[in-house]
Amino acid sequence: MNSLRSRLLLIAAAIGLSVFALFPRQTAVREKTPDGSFTETTKRLWPLKYGLDLQGGMHLALEIDESKGAVADKKDALGRALKTVRNRIDQFGVSEPVVQLAGDDRIIVELPGIDDQQRAQDVVQQSAFLQFQIVDKSGALDKALPRLDAAVRSRRLDVSSGAPAADTARPSSATPLSGLLSGDTAKKVTVAASPDSAKAAVGATDSAKRDVNGPMTRLLQAGQVPGQFYVKEIDVPRLTRYLADSAVRAAIPPGKVLRFGADTLAGAPGQGTFREFYVLDSRPIITGEFLTDAKPNSDPLQGGYIVEFEFNAEGGRVFRKETGRHVRDNMAVVLDDRVMTAPTINSAIGRNGQITLGGGTLQDAQDLALVLRAGALPVPLKVAEIRNIGASLGQDSIDKGKRAFGIAIALVIVIMVGYYRFSGGIAVVALGLYIFFTLAALAGFGATLTLPGLAGLVLGVGIAVDANVLIFERIREEMDRGKSARLSIDEGFTHALSAIVDTSVATILSGAVLYQYGTGPVRGFAVTLVVGVAASLFTAIFVTRTLLLLWLDRTGGTKPLSI
Amino acid sequence: MLRIFHNTKYDFIKWWKVAAIVTGAFIAIGFASFAVTGGINYSVEFTGGTLVQLKFKQTADAAKIRAALDAAGIKGAEVQQFGAADEYTVRAQDKALVAQQDAGAEKVEDQIRAALSKSLGAETYSVVRTEAIGPKVGEELSRRALLAMVLVSVATLIYLAFRFEWRFGVAAVAATLHDTIVTLAFIKLLHLEVSLTVVAAILTLLGYSMNDTIIIFDRVRENLKTAGRTRLYDVLNRSINDTLPRSIMTHATTFVASLALLLFAGEVIRPFAWVMTFGVVVATFSSIYVAGPVLLWIEAKYPRKASTGAAARTDGSAKRPGAVATR
């Protein structure tokens, strides 16, 4: 009796603990407001975490991209990149994001509830390397064009138009526009050879020498200011290809760099779209490292959106000095090697500035401000793995998983009660507690419920009663030998134990290995498996026995056991 | 008290030849299909590649999707209906495509989206699931899955070696090995996609199939103690008959649970559910028709020394089950 009481107390304690673990609690969550920003609120939530495959979301594995040059100290670079990515994600507005190192060469980013894969990827991957460079007004490119044309010709880049046909077929892959910044522009420029723009192209005065049929020259039209050109959008891949060639690069004027604009411009009717092309001083007058703040705003003059930024004191000093030296020059705001804008400097600029987004939405402006604030990535990152699951598919999995769970429970109850009657009923009570304890343990340990985990839970319903079956069958055998109910129960439990332990050991072995070597969803399965085995050991052996002892106690052991 | 298969006296072992032919034929057909339909259908997790699950606004047509991909030069992508008539998966595992993903795992997905939007219209479909795995990650995941398989097998072996005297251990291993091979044949025949989740199912089965064998062998050990001069053949048969009700009950509960998964838990988890459901059946079979005959065969080949006494040792400790009963 005494031992029965302590048994019941232990079970009550386990139930109490589980109720505590599963009780809905105040949780801080980030919620999306209608205007697209995020607010922190608290909500009472069921404390069981769902994996990305159930709640929907995105899993990214990032690696250092060494295609544009080797990185010396990868570990250090990755550590710094991790910090930047974490900064960005923290401001991105996802509830419970995960940003962590995996192994020595990978960053894992998990974004629950993200529905815009492209946007998330851009925010994570964008280098956000901001530079301010003076637009060349010395006509350096015009002077170098004959050499560039010659280089293109000598490498026969202009004739091999058959092979790179793929380039023109898929311009998007050849010119990886950042999705964030490539909104079709609202800016309209007429690029006809108006006398105005011809005059503006001071560097091109030597037009007699200009070989209009040169393979490179042909692609360029003079822009509105020196150092600015227009390229037909369909020629962009071709020009990109030319510029990728080492001989052509060698012919680029020293101390200058050539950069495309970020946006496309609509030309005169029938001319298609154009892209700006700039010749810039390769030395930036300042970079984004001095940036302290950046915020999106609407452009009061032209409409559209801008990002306003602020330098720290030191940056402000440098910026004022440099812009003071270049009054009436054009200064290109270059983000990730693309010219965002190239306004004329009217007077020295201090700590504040702005970047104009040609086209693009408020969200684009917000994202740009975000990545500028969070800082540039120290190394380029590439995506090694993406798993993205829509929230509706996740919800569908949850619904169907719950349905299977319910049906499995119902079937098992029918089998157990149908076959073992009263004792089967006891096993069902134990099964109910098993489910309860398993969920509580998952919540208590902060484990994540994934779809395979949910499947493991359903399967667990069938496996958890196995121990009861073994015990009951043994009790039956003992009773067949004419033993009393009490003795049969004792013997039944004792003899069935070794087989039950075997079962558990085998399952725990598999579970442990799966946990060690699995990925997210499979880990969820492993956890459910192991937790389930532990819970079923407790319920099938301890709880069932206690309930049977309770029955014995009530009946005084005089009635035959219904089993 | 409701009883099924109580006090049965079936001669299970008598049919071992038939059983061996049936299972042998199944395995043979399964593996012969390698020659016809190619290798195992590994998921993009292992090969690297891209899987895109699409949901169309209206009932879609696999041929049109295929045509759209072909037009964009995306070669070797597999288009399959996924559950409902408006859901399809596109799997691109072609080597050349996977190689492109080394520069960024999203590359092929972008191409697939572009191709579909161009041919079918961007508003006609939405992408509900993406798995894009670069070649490096794919290699790593396969290596880890393989390692997991090996480790679980070795751990199981070690456990069996501790648990049983070697004859029993070898027989149990044979049964477990049989289950793995038959399950592979099954996976092959149903063209199931082998993903990490399916590997998890196989590993779970490994443990599960062992349990049943252990239950029967435990009973064999127990019966051997009182067997006297009874032939092992008969002891084995009696043990299987003794444990028949519990085998059926334990398998029935697990079977209905995995059946519920198979029928109701949706398309994503279905390969896992197939493997589990099939595995439960096979585990029942193998614990009788593989473990039993193999044990008999070993006993015939390496008989226990009669000199240690005709009767069994009475201690039932795990390490020295040493029951002795030869014909």
> Per residue in A46-105, pLDDT tens?
778 888 889 889 999 999 888 777 777 888 888 888 888 888 887 777 777 888 988 888
> In this model, does residue B307 exceed pLDDT 50?
no
- Give the pLDDT mean for B197-207: 88
- Whether A389 contacts chain B with CB within 8 A: yes
Report which DSSP code applies to A520: H
- Whether A28 contacts chain B with CB within 8 A: no
Q: By three-state DSSP, how is residue B175 classified?
A: helix
Indicate the domain borders of chain B.
13-38+139-308, 49-132
d(CA A248, CA A421): 87
d(CA A128, CA A378): 10
Helices (H), A353-390: 362-374
Grade residue B282 by pLDDT with cuts at 50, 70 and 90.
very high
d(CA A304, CA A434): 59
**Nearest by CB: A503 against B211, B256, B273:** B211
- Give the pLDDT mean for B102-108: 86
pLDDT at A174: 33
Q: By three-state DSSP, how is residue A271 classified?
A: coil
**Sequence-ordered strand ranges (E) for B25-181:** 49-56, 77-81, 87-92, 125-133
CATH superfamily, region A2-22+390-555: Multidrug efflux transporter AcrB transmembrane domain (1.20.1640.10)
Chain A residue with minimal CA distance to B144? Answer: A517
CB spacing of B264 vs A404 below 8 angstroms? yes
Q: Do domains A2-22+390-555 and A57-125 have the same CATH topology?
A: no
pLDDT at A370: 79
Report which DSSP code applies to B169: H
Indicate the domain borders of chain A.
2-22+390-555, 57-125, 130-358
Q: What is the CATH number of domain B49-132?
A: 3.30.70.100
CB-based contacts of B145, cutoff 8 Å, min separation 6: A517, B46, B196, B199
Only one residue has tokens 């005959």, namely B293
pLDDT at A159: 67
pLDDT at B249: 92
Tell me how close the Cα of A513 comes to any Cα of chain B, in angstroms.
6
pLDDT at A419: 94
Helix, strand, coil proportions of chain B in percent (round to 5)?
65, 10, 25
CB-based contacts of A466, cutoff 8 Å, min separation 6: A503, A540, B211, B250, B253, B254
Tens-binned pLDDT, residue by residue, of chain A (563 aa): 568 889 999 999 999 999 998 888 777 666 666 555 566 677 777 778 888 889 889 999 999 888 777 777 888 888 888 888 888 887 777 777 888 988 888 999 998 888 777 888 888 887 778 888 999 888 888 888 888 888 888 887 776 544 443 333 333 333 333 333 333 333 333 333 334 443 444 444 444 456 677 788 888 888 888 888 998 888 888 888 888 888 888 888 888 889 988 877 777 777 778 888 999 998 888 887 788 888 888 877 777 788 888 888 888 888 888 888 888 888 888 888 888 888 888 777 877 877 777 666 787 788 878 777 777 777 888 889 999 998 888 999 999 999 999 999 999 999 999 999 999 999 999 999 999 999 999 998 888 889 999 999 999 999 899 999 999 999 999 999 988 888 999 999 998 888 888 878 878 888 888 888 877 778 888 999 999 999 999 998 899 999 999 999 888 777 888 88
What single-letter amino acid sits at A132? F
Contact A459, B276 (CB under 8 A): yes
Q: What is the CATH number of domain A57-125?
A: 3.30.70.3400
Helix, strand, coil proportions of chain A in percent (round to 5)?
50, 20, 25
With residue A337 as reference, give the H or E element that holds it: none
Nearest CA-CA partner of B221 in A495, A178, A210? A495
Q: By three-state DSSP, how is residue A102 classified?
A: strand
Among positive and negative, which fits the CA dihedral A211, A217, A223, A227? negative
Return the structure tokens found at A327. Answer: 């009054």
- CA angle, A423 as apex, A419 and A425 as ends, to 5°? 85
- Pairing label, strands A49-50, A448-449: parallel
CB spacing of A411 vs B127 below 8 angstroms? no
Percentage of chain B with pLDDT > 90? 33
- Give the pLDDT mean for B60-75: 87
Chain A residue with minimal CA distance to B51? Answer: A387
**What is chain A's alpha carbon radius of gyration, rounded to the nearest angstrom?**
35
Tell me how close the Cα of B294 comes to any Cα of chain A, in angstroms.
21
> In this model, does residue B318 exceed pLDDT 50?
no
Phi, psi of B48 (to 5 degrees): 80, 155
Q: In what order do the strands lie in the sheet with A305-311?
A: A291-298, A305-311, A352-357
d(CA B259, CA A456): 13
CB spacing of B129 vs A498 below 8 angstroms? no
- Whether A321 contacts chain B with CB within 8 A: no
Q: What is the CATH number of domain B13-38+139-308?
A: 1.20.1640.10
